Chains A and B, each alone.
Chain A
Amino acid sequence: MKLDFQVIIYYTARILMGLAALMVIPLITALFFQEWNIALDFLIGIFLSLITAYTLTLITSSEAYKSKLSWVDGLVAVTVAWLLGMILAAVPYYLSGFYGSFLDATFDVMSGLTTTGLVLIQDLDHVPYGINMWRHLLSFLGGQGMVVLALTFLFRDISGAFKLYVGEAKDEQLLPNAKNTARVIWFISIIYLLIGTFIFWVAGLYIGLSPLRSFFHGLWVFMAAWSTGGFAPQSQNILYYHSTLYELVTVLFFTVGSFNFALHYTIWRANRREIFRNLEVISFFITVNLLFSFTAGGLAQSDVYTSFWDIFRKGYYHLISGHTTTGFMTVYASQFQGWSDLALLGLIISMLFGASACSTAGGFKALRIGIIWHTLIREVKRVINPERAVVTEKFHHLRDVILEERHMRSALLVVILYITTFTITTVASVASGYPLIHSMFEAASATGNVGLSIGVVAPSMPGLLKVLYILVMWVGRLEFMAVLAGVAFIIETLRRK
């Protein structure tokens, strides 16, 4: 076997070991609540993951252990790990009996890992603790990244770790070393997990949940909020709690969760002013409020809600939930169908825009929106200034940056790829017989890894469309490059043969 293949397989195996280790948490949860059959499902999942990981390790040569990762190797390793991880993580789901098919189970795994939040699980109100723990844990893991987890706990200092890290669409190096960067990301997330779970637990007690239920609901809803995932332990999602307070707490944590990890790190290092100067934050808040005017206008137009407070509570909640790519809902999917097209358009655009780069969020990312805006400003300046004038444009993201061609090229390329993916998904949904606006809504939700649903995603949807949605969520989360590298690698390998 060629060495580059072996390197990819070796690192994939290490990431799968991390996944197996993670399954111990829902296993313990199932044992604690005496869900014996569910515990067995997780044991089977753990053993299958370990068998796969150990087999992959055995078939690699000793050179693979020591060889340096190339960019392509890193990107392909991430792609393969995500695909294999999806299949193995779906085993406990499928065995639990809450899914119509193995495809549905893999759909929900990918939805969790990509922090999307679209679901095909059935009878969610009767789902055991073990499965609910696994659902939210996958979402939490997906927010930080499978590779980030593996880098933190499983790898010794490896050369080229940064390439694995970038493969998961994270390109901010908080520290010079990728392993330490991964550790900082997990450190930030764990601190927030402790604070967030406590706040949700108190809020849960206040709204009438029992202490134990309040703790688990708090833990799970925090995981889904922080990772901008959008899963919830009950079928009514956040509507289940019937509480403005609980909604406010979710807004707080999914907004904070949608911020760049580098921004968190900068603020933690006592640079509080960064939050007011950062291009991503400014861009995000401008687009949120601009798009809310669409949604609010649309809701006022459609007479769905009678008071301004209702328009604000429902409209703003779903808009910010969509914009941060969380996907928490306080209405039923079918109720979106009563919203006017203008209101839905506001949500569709917000879902595509997304939140911060190097965060748990999806979508175009606020930084790219900001860069495109500055590009437009620069071009306008060029037109109005004399030809000989040297026009420069600056933006502030952690530091002052002079806008260069590479920034523009990279931002525009990713945005074009997102729009292309969104268009293909919309066309596929329309071809499957769904109305255009519904297709656009669900396509934006899958492409931006959001999770708001108008009702297209359901166990009854065509199998091919489920497969397409899985692919779309996957490429959306990895921001295309890792997947494109994987495809190019396969084509190149076949050509050489």
Chain B
Amino acid sequence: MKRLIKLTIGFVFMCYFTGWITHPRLVLAAPVSSTDLLGYGSKYQGKLIKFEGEVVGDLMKRGEYTWVPVSDGLNTIGIWAPSSYAEKIKYTGSYRYRGDMVVISGIFHETCPQHGGELDIHAKSLEIKQRGYRISYPLNRFRIFCAGILGFFSLILFLANRFRARNLS
């Protein structure tokens, strides 16, 4: 029993010196979904969380920091990251590109005091999980055929209208 108490006290001290206890934030090992962050924001407020997703849109550099929009497929969340992290990103998601998949560790704010009450994550680390790539869209032959047929009918009807208008005038 005494040994167990000693072990417990030792563990508590170890936690204290490594900052696990006094630290106000909870470290969540598993990535949190955007649905959880938006639906239960107060639960994660001020905590260190992991968020995983694709970088989409534009990297908006603001001096030492950059806004990195990251989408987990359900919602896009703005990540406030040091510009040095953002430099690792090569591809951002758009119609032409699949963006880099990244894993963010950072402090979640349901209403960020620094950014006018916005919901955001302040990144503590950013890892590239998977590089993005260019998406190729093969030309749709059936649609070319449809457009051709419809174009032909449009021309016929246009000429018919012209012919009729001439007769009327």
Contact = CB atoms under 8 A, between A and B. Distances in A.
Interface in B67-122: 67, 69, 71, 75-76, 78, 93-96, 111, 113, 115-120
A305 B111 contact: yes
A313 B69 CA distance: 21
Given A126-B94, A128-B95, A44 B57 contact: no
Contacts of A235: 71, 75-76
B154 A208 contact: no
Interface in B119-169: 119-120, 137, 139-140, 143-144, 146-147, 150-151, 153-154, 157-158, 160-161, 164, 168
Nearest to B115: A242
B43 interface: no
How would you classify the secondary structure of chain B's contact residues: helix, strand, loop or mixed? mixed
Interface of B: 38-39, 41-42, 56-62, 66-67, 69, 71, 75-76, 78, 93-96, 111, 113, 115-120, 137, 139-140, 143-144, 146-147, 150-151, 153-154, 157-158, 160-161, 164, 168
Interface in A38-55: 40-41, 43-44, 47-48, 50-51, 54-55
A242 B78 contact: yes
A338 B76 contact: no
A58 B64 CA distance: 65
Contacts of B140: 37, 40
Given A57-B161, A125-B71, A313-B117, A44 B59 contact: no
Most A CB within 10 A of own CB, among B116, B150, B154: B116
Contacts of B57: 125, 234, 240
Nearest to A132: B95
Nearest to A66: B168
A330 interface: yes
Given A125-B76, A241-B60, A335-B119, A58 B160 contact: yes
Given A234-B69, A338-B41, A314 B58 contact: no
Interface in A211-249: 213, 234-236, 239-242, 244
B143 A244 contact: no
A50 B158 contact: yes
Contacts of B117: 304-307, 310-311, 313-314
Given A43-B151, A125-B56, A50 B143 contact: no
A333 to B, nearest CB: 9
A235 B57 CA distance: 10
A309 interface: yes
B143 A41 contact: yes
Contacts of B42: 338
B59 A208 contact: yes
Contact of A54 (B94, B144, B161): B161
B147 A208 contact: no
B26 to A, nearest CB: 21
Contact of A307 (B69, B94, B113): B113
